Chain A
Amino acid sequence: MNPNPAQNPAIGHNQQPKMTARGVNVFYGQKQAIKNVSIDVSSDHVTAFIGPSGCGKSTFLRCLNRMNDTVDSARVEGDIALDGQDIYAPQMDVVQLRARVGMVFQKPNPFPKSIYENVAYGPRLHGLARSKAEMDAIVESALRRAGLWDEVKDRLSESGTAMSGGQQQRLCIARAIAVDPEVILMDEPCSALDPIATARIEELIDELRGRYAIVIVTHNMQQAARVSQKTAFFHLGSLVEYDDTSTIFTNPRETRTKDYITGRYG
């Protein structure tokens, strides 16, 4: 493998990265969406993927928990590993992988079930609770960690779809962390929310940092600057630059990065 010199996958790591990607190419039919991307994701950081629309940042994110498998025409090449274990290996169970690498989507998508059932669904699938009391405890701690407990503790049986957009998205985060994942992927989690709800989610991301490896895709550069410690800039399917967030925003190495950061395009 011959990594792009502009990419520096292992910058500043003094510990084993949680997820590693090496030479990843993604094709949709004939069209190449991701070109030779190599990157490391660490547990103690929030990593932001930024870039103009259609640059492949969401596509790459969906490779990390194999959500691209559901797209018939998608084909993924290269190596992606979770704790050094190849996630595209035949012996990797994709269902378990998605429990370990959780995902929060662009549009809040709670199940049309009760708030309790939304959170309890994942633990029930994977048999994480042996009793009703244990399940109650899991649901409560997940809702607490998502900062939603105080708002919903008296109406756990109400429908998850009846809440406000911001609450729905925090419910989706609670649902993801209820199965105790190691990595949480967030695909533009605030793009459908108002500024106050967005601020609440950003706070939450900050609180979750360190406990989970968090990767967030965003088209909002301020958001990337606020919540992340590492930032990766994607352009036309390539990883242009990956560095500390402060470096990317104040002293980028690449002209393309600088032009994007300063709003020249995108």
Chain B
Amino acid sequence: MTALAAPLAERGPTDWTSTEMTQRIARRYRAERNFRRLGLLALLVAASFLAFLLFTIVRDGWTGFQRSEARLEVVFDPAVLGVDPAAVGRAGGDRLLATADYPALLLATAAQLGPAADTLSDAAWLDLRETLQADPTLLGQRATIWVPVRSSIDLLAKGKFDLSAPSDSRGVSDEEVADWRWLERENRLRTGFNGAFISGADSTEPELAGIGGAALGSLFTLAITIAIAFPLGVLSAVWLEEFAPRGWLADVIELSINNLAAVPSIIFGLLGLAFFLNIAGLPRSSPLVGGITLALMIMPVIVIAARVAIKSVPPSIRDAALGIGASPLQVVFHHVLPLALPGIMTGTIIGIARALGETAPLLLIGMRAFVTDVPQGVTQSATVLPMQVFLWSDDVQRGFVEKTSAAILILLVILIAMNSLAIYLRNRFERRW
């Protein structure tokens, strides 16, 4: 070491081939190799977690998009339905068809299933009504209709039970197994795509529950969120970056916004409960209140992303525009915002994706309500996708397990689509100079 500390002139020429040098080089190579291996290992661990998650969800969830139905030969007997055939063609006939006694017809028809007559879903009569309403000429005629069966039969058909286990521990009764075997033997059971799951709303029965209501609730909620958070966030960012006087006030605002972005979401839910529901008196459980609450939550995220995007527009562009006589407002709207827009949109979509997956604040404003109707507007009671996942995962009925995974799949697909859109927008509109 003394040799190194000596002034350059007094040292001899450096020996680049000494043992010490060779060892140093070998050590450096080893460190680089190990670091690369470590990185690869970390990546593999992360990827395998993700793969496991996706695998289990897809395995449990894909049957959630299917449902089992039993074949019925139905005779739409006007006497059983309590409908006067002559009255159907006249005014008010529609109402007559809507209010006819379909449960009685179902009861009478189910007898043809013999021992398995009680395997039909409680709401199977709705399918009879739907069929007749779609084609009133069927009144008095015979038709073949597939109606949903109870969840336990549905799960048996999908092979979800281990039938070799003792009957008291396999979760399904011997009687149900016998019913299912009879239906299969008589060739009266089929399992197919469950359209009602996509379009319908929640239900207490797994075979009738749908994700459509929650999806539409999410859509309404996000529409409100975007409509409020995007303009507010972008205008705040523009003002802070382009017009706000520099000084302690700007620093305080900056600090507050960064802190706001880190506030736990449940606190925004409390704010929504205290202000929008109790003081402003907006409708409980509605996408309107949910949207406003989530807008408050993601606005700081949009402000931060938009400020970064605005900051990255080179000052030379501002100079150029100012130099030929553009006003500060024209500089912002003609040049800065268009150039910053890809970054702003990326940040916004990431914020929206966060809002889409948010549950905690919505619990507090009543969006965990059990809603069996698809919402028609932003002021009606609704729930959202992650809340539906939460509600179903909490349900004691076994049939909801696959529904939960199916709902997660839909949520994931929407999230992936949104993130892909963000990446596409960034690449498509990014300008270089």
Contact = CB atoms under 8 A, between A and B. Distances in A.
A105 B316 contact: yes
Interface in A65-122: 65, 67, 70, 72, 95-99, 102-105, 107, 109-112, 121-122
Given A109-B316, A112-B339, A125 B323 contact: no
Contact of A122 (B314, B325, B433): B325
B431 A112 contact: yes
A111 B335 contact: yes
Contacts of B322: 67, 70, 98
A235 interface: no
Interface of B: 245-246, 314, 316-327, 330, 334-335, 339, 431-433
A176 B324 CA distance: 6
A102 B324 contact: yes
B324 A112 contact: no
A73 to B, nearest CB: 9
Contacts of A72: 245-246
Nearest to A185: B323
Given A72-B246, A111-B335, A125-B330, A175 B316 contact: no
B316 A107 contact: yes
| Residues of B contacting A: mostly | helix
Contacts of A109: 314, 316-317, 319-320
A176 B323 contact: yes
19 contacts: A67-B319, A70-B319, A72-B245, A98-B323, A98-B324, A98-B325, A105-B319, A105-B323, A109-B317, A109-B320, A111-B320, A111-B321, A111-B335, A112-B431, A112-B432, A112-B433, A121-B321, A122-B325, A179-B325
Contacts of A172: 320
B323 A102 contact: yes
Contact of A175 (B319, B324, B334, B335): B324
Contacts of B314: 109
B319 A125 contact: no
Given A98-B325, A103-B319, A121-B334, 7 more contacts: A65-B323, A70-B319, A99-B325, A111-B317, A112-B433, A125-B330, A161-B433
A122 B324 CA distance: 6
A99 B325 CA distance: 5
Contact of B324 (A70, A121, A161): A121
A155 interface: no
Contacts of A161: 432-433
Contacts of B339: 112
A153 interface: no
A98 B334 CA distance: 17
Contacts of A176: 323-324
Contact of B326 (A103, A105, A107, A125): A125
Contacts of A253: none
Nearest to A179: B324
Nearest to A126: B325
Interface residues of A, number: 28
Nearest to A103: B323
A161 B335 CA distance: 14
B131 to A, nearest CB: 60
Contacts of B327: 95
A107 B323 CA distance: 13
Given A109-B319, A172-B320, A96 B325 contact: yes
Top 7 A-B pairs, shortest CB-CB distance: A99-B325, A109-B316, A103-B323, A122-B324, A98-B325, A109-B320, A112-B431
Nearest to B431: A112
Contacts of B318: 70
A102 B320 CA distance: 10
Interface in A152-192: 161, 172, 175-176, 178-179
A125 B433 CA distance: 23
A95 B329 CA distance: 11
Contacts of B432: 112, 161
A126 B325 CA distance: 8
Contacts of B319: 67, 70, 103, 105, 109
A172 B320 CA distance: 8
B198 to A, nearest CB: 44
Nearest to B246: A72
Contacts of B330: 125
Contacts of A103: 319, 323-324
A175 B316 CA distance: 14
Contacts of B317: 109, 111-112
A99 B330 CA distance: 14
Interface centre among B245, B325, B334, B432 (most CB of A within 10 A): B325
Nearest to A172: B320
Nearest to B320: A109
A126 B327 CA distance: 11
Contacts of A179: 324-325
A125 B321 CA distance: 10
A64 B433 CA distance: 28
A182 B245 CA distance: 33
Nearest to B247: A72
Contacts of B335: 111
A96 B326 CA distance: 9
A27 to B, nearest CB: 17
